[in-house]
Amino acid sequence: MLTIDLLRHGALKGGLKYRGLTDDPLTQAGRRDMETVWQQLSSEVDLIITSPLSRCANPAAEWAKQRAIPCIIEPRIAEMHYGRWEGKTSDQIKREYPGMLEMWRRDPSNMRPPAGESIHELRLRLQMWMQEISLGYKGKHLLLVSHSGVLRMLIALALQAPIISTRQLAMPYCCWSRICYTDQTYTLAFHQHSQ
């Protein structure tokens, strides 16, 4: 069996924004909350795979060093690129692009943020990556440190759920979930595990 713990990064400096590839640092509380989750699962993990963005990669590298386990930086699990929405708050986007954000939040299937990545492109890169790890890491316990959009999509892929289902998945900062792969099937062991 392959076990994959999914961990979203903690709270970021600058408040709530559509960051995507914008690399804002963690708050002290956000880093502390990530550490709380790590302490609960650290003894089980064989390998850490992380987004290259510092909010994920910095804690992941420290944890891997503590445990003397590999840490792989994987560009394909970086957050979705939000194009012209990058670094903007919801209110700013609503003012500059009337109606678009609401439509995208309801169902992103048929649109993309201006000059950004589409949800289908995100799905495709994650689907290809999941196929690789399903074959390459049998019997291992992985920790994946990534982002809200990526982790929602990975859960949807694991459950063979439609894209729109990503809108029904709560994914707060430091959300911790687990998916398991056995007999060519993924299952969701838990989602939003309490800290």
Q: Are 117 and 81 in contact (CB under 8 A)?
A: yes
| 56 contacts 145 by C-beta, under 8 angstroms | yes
Q: Which amino acid is it at 137?
A: Y
pLDDT digits (tens, 9 = 90+) for 29-47: 999 999 999 999 999 999 9
Q: What is the model's pLDDT at position 94?
A: 95
pLDDT of residue 106: 87
Task: Locate 78 and state its tokens.
Answer: 């970086």
What is the per-residue DSSP string for the chain?
-EEEEEEE---BTT-S-B-TT--PPBPHHHHHHHHHHHHHHGGG-SEEEE-SSHHHHHHHHHHHHHHT--EEE-GGGSPPP-GGGTTB-HHHHHHHSTTHHHHHHH-GGG---TTS--HHHHHHHHHHHHHHHHHH-TT-EEEEEE-HHHHHHHHHHHTT--GGGGGG----TT-EEEEEEETTEEEEEESS---
Cα separation, 136 vs 132, in Å, equals 6
- Rounded Cα distance, 3 and 8, in Å: 16
- Residue 111 predicted with pLDDT over 90: no
Task: List, for residues 42-93, the tens digit of each pLDDT value.
Answer: 999 999 999 999 999 999 999 999 999 999 999 999 999 999 999 999 999 9
Query: pLDDT of 126-159, one tens digit each?
Result: 999 999 999 899 999 999 999 999 999 999 999 9
- The pLDDT confidence band at residue 110, using thresholds 50, 70 and 90, is confident
**Domains detected in the chain:** 2-190 (3.40.50.1240)
